[in-house]
Amino acid sequence: MDIHTNIPLKNFTTMRLGGNARFMTEVRTEQELIEVYRNAKTQNLPVFILGGGSNVIARDDGFTGIVIRIRIPGFEVIADDLNSTTIKLGAGEDWDSVVKRTVDMRLSGIETMSAIPGTVGGAPVQNVGAYGQEIADTMQSLTAYDSQTDQIVTLQNSECGFSYRHSIFRGDESGRYVITSVTLKLSKNLPHPPFYEALQKYLDERGTTIFTHQVIRDAVIAIRADKLPDPAKLPNTGSFFKNAIIEDWQLNELKSNNPDVPNYEMGDGKFKIPTGWLIEHAGLKGTLIHGMRVHDKNCLVLINESASSYSDLASARDEIIGKVRDTYRIQIEQEPLEI
């Protein structure tokens, strides 16, 4: 296990911005992770956990502590019955590679989360989801290093505080736990309609009536390829903003002037509004703001076209948030974490 110094964070995050990390290392076992944390504690060094870097933004002043890149492997079937298969996954596994393997095994539960960049360990942190599925739907439990007790612990689904793009890992317990494995229980049933609106529309337009795991995965990959730029070619973090969650009175107010606004009932009098729709109808589609381009195919996405600093990105973000707030009285939020 090597410790590297003065590492440019822009080389490890898909927005390609930010200063340097004082130290950086990779861990491939739980024991290595524990050792790094103990050493960091003795030297009073802050720690930041980094997976694939696709949902993280680095600030210009960098990070004065140690960045730990999680590379713990693992793909193990731990239970199997007539209706389901339970799989334990290492936190360092590439998420989409895992989705592909489960689709090849004809298992349902995460197929619509195809082509999402990042690692398995990052998925529960923001309760990753797409096209009607999210990790909370299939995750039974996870193991994590508890930096407060210096122990490996197991947390059940109910202990993770999952909600829309949120969990305890980016909420009340942010910085406490480092996820080392995730256990998913997946169904042996075929995917079945009705699917999420955008996915259903894609299938209907092509006359698709037989819904296999591979058909759904292929459809999602095609939709994402059309709407989301490849971060290897155009620096971005995928969806930069969370979709807005509003109260019923806000929806009624919004509909009074925008009767065609798409909305999805979330229960408890709350509704999800596509933030991309809000940004587009606020007149920002395709605009260049402080070097950041609002993607013309998906306004949730900001592309780093010519920004040279985190400051540029922050200025663009704040202008977009302000324009949506001034236009619709709705406060939208950034999705990526910051280091």
Sign of CA dihedral 93, 173, 29, 7: positive
One-letter amino acid for residue 126 of the chain: Q
* H or E stretch at 31: helix 30-42
Sign of CA dihedral 316, 198, 269, 278: positive
Question: How far is residue 50 from each of residues 14, 38, 57, 65, measured CA to CA in Å?
Answer: 12, 18, 11, 13
Residue 195 is given by DSSP the state P
Q: Please tell me the distance from the alpha carbon of residue 211 to that of residue 191, in angstroms, as a whole number.
A: 6
Nearest CA-CA partner of 112 in 215, 187, 230: 215
C-beta of residue 120 within 8 angstroms of C-beta of residue 128: no
Q: Which 3 state secondary structure label does DSSP give 244? A: strand
Q: Tokens 């739980």 appear where?
A: 30
Say which residues have a Cβ less than 8 Å from residue 223's Cβ, sequence separation at least 6.
131, 198, 199, 202
Q: Please tell me the distance from the alpha carbon of residue 224 to that of residue 231, in angstroms, as a whole number.
A: 12
Q: Please tell me the distance from the alpha carbon of residue 211 to that of residue 107, in angstroms, as a whole number.
A: 13
What residues are annotated to the active site? 165, 239, 335
Burial class (CB in 10 A: 0-12, 13-18, 19+), 272: middle
C-beta of residue 172 within 8 angstroms of C-beta of residue 194: no
What are 29's two structure tokens? 């076992």
Nearest CA-CA partner of 244 in 278, 286, 199: 278
